[in-house]
Amino acid sequence: MKKIWSLLLITLVASLAFSTHAKNMEVKTTLRGVLTVAVTDLPNQEIPTMTWTNEFFQAFAMENGLVVHYVTVPFDKAWELAAKGQVDVVATGVSALPERKIKGAKWSKPYLEETRALRIHAKDTSRFKTIKDFVGHRVGVLSGTTSELDLRNRAPSGVDIVLVKHRTELYELFNQGKVDAIAEGIYVTAKKAAPADTLVIDTHDFVSGQKEELVFVVYEGDHDLLDELNEFLTTKGFPLNKTP
């Protein structure tokens, strides 16, 4: 009887070890053992969401036996990189707009919800209340984003729209006073620390009454990557749920 129980125990341990190994082997990426993630900017203190993104993908990669490699890209049409298999995941803050769904790539489950707004310097509160107050002034925005679409739809004639490719560049212009405001998304389902001495004004929906959700764009050819990513989002959340 003892021999039987010993055999059962050995079989159970071997089965669990095989299952863990099999799970790690399930996730296929374009470059074996490497999770290539497209971002607009590398992790830095000025952009809290990049810290969240880095923490999330580092934890996901560790759980799946992968190493993260970031590729910095302009936001505009970045999702096409996933469709072409040039990266495994596009994590540039892509709003789930129908026209961004393309063959060769799939969307993750939504990981954040946001709304639209303008960010100004606190000292300018008396000058600016809505987009209409920016006639004759400069508003910076990331090229190709939902923020640009929204700004072009709402800005009256005379607002000088300044397009940039990366968030770090956008904030540099803002901090140097070269633009008077930034058009950007404000997170509804998670809170981030606002840059010092700034305020958010003119908050509104991109499409009135509709939720705007962000998704990761995943290369369709990566076996089980999307399923594993969605499961990780469900269990760990975004930003990561750090409670035990």
Cβ atoms of residues 56 and 150 within 8 Å: no
Mean pLDDT estimate for the chain: 88
218 CB burial (10 A radius; 0-12, 13-18, 19+): buried
Distance separating alpha carbons of residues 17 and 12, to the nearest angstrom:
9
Residue 66: closest CA among 91, 16, 39, 29: 29
> Which residues, other chains included, contact 93 with Cβ-Cβ below 8 Å and sequence gap of 6+?
40, 49, 75, 145, 185, 214
Please write the tens of the pLDDT for every residue from 24-37.
456 899 999 999 99
Distance separating alpha carbons of residues 64 and 28, to the nearest angstrom:
10
Integer-rounded Cα Rg, in Å, for the chain is: 22
pLDDT at 224 over 90: yes
Distance separating alpha carbons of residues 220 and 97, to the nearest angstrom:
18
Distance separating alpha carbons of residues 218 and 240, to the nearest angstrom:
19
**pLDDT for residue 19:** 42
pLDDT at 226 over 90: yes
Q: Which domains does the chain have, with CATH numbers?
A: 2-112+213-236 (3.40.190.10), 114-204 (3.40.190.10)
Q: How far is CA 81 from CA 38, 72, 88, 199, 225, in A?
A: 8, 12, 8, 34, 16
235 CB burial (10 A radius; 0-12, 13-18, 19+): exposed
Segment 192-218 mean pLDDT: 91
Please write the tens of the pLDDT for every residue from 35-61.
999 999 887 656 667 889 999 999 999
